[in-house]
């Protein structure tokens, strides 16, 4: 193989985007005024320790995005999603502990059934008034996209937020 072909193959391989695919969701109280958040306070080795976050997690190989999201909510909060909407897709290149790329499908749940658990192995579940969300300790990048999740524009948004050394370096998004 000629050297230029080898270099092209290496460059092509290096640019392949192979993110960890995950879901993230924000469950609204029945009156829509509060959001269920997890306070990640249960495991000392948790890279999210001390932060508040929505609920969700990685997809299993054999499930679609909605099935994976429903499973995660069932496991983490003990409830069944009855009405949900996909509000965003967000790419987080470099977000992982070791610089892994993540691709998230972000949902808002407006109706559920069951009783919300008070905690899970990752931390305490807390209802937080929507107007107080930005006061919570959270990932710096969450402050960029959370307002868009709850705004009056019904269109989903699609963003990219590259991370470096645990911090976002930029944020862009579009809506269709």
Q: Is 10's pLDDT higher than 50? A: no
Domains of the chain: 18-175 (3.90.79.10)
Burial class (CB in 10 A: 0-12, 13-18, 19+), 133: buried
100-153 pLDDT per residue, tens: 999 999 999 999 999 999 999 999 999 999 999 999 999 999 999 999 999 999
Q: How confident is the model over 156-172, as a mean pLDDT? A: 96
Question: Dihedral angle at the C-alpha atoms of 23, 160, 38, 152, nearest 10 degrees?
Answer: -90
Q: Cα(166)–Cα(92) distance, rounded to whole angstroms?
A: 11
């Amino acid at each position: 193989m000629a050297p230029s072909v080898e270099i092209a193959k290496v460059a092509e391989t290096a640019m392949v985007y192979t993110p960890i695919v995950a879901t993230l969701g924000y469950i609204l109280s029945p009156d829509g005024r509060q959001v269920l958040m997890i306070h990640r306070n249960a495991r000392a080795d948790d890279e999210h320790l001390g932060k508040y976050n929505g609920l969700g997690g990685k997809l299993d190989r054999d499930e679609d995005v909605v099935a994976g999201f429903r499973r995660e909510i069932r496991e983490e909060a003990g409830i069944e999603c009855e009405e949900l909407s996909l509000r965003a897709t967000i790419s987080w290149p470099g977000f992982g502990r070791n610089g892994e790329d993540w691709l998230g499908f972000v949902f808002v749940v407006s109706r559920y059934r069951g009783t919300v658990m008070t905690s899970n192995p990752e931390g305490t579940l807390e209802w937080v008034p929507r107007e107080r969300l930005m006061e919570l300790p959270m990932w710096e990048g969450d402050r960029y996209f959370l307002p868009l999740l709850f705004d009056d524009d019904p269109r989903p948004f699609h963003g990219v937020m590259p991370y470096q050394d645990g911090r976002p370096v930029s944020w862009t998004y579009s809506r269709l």
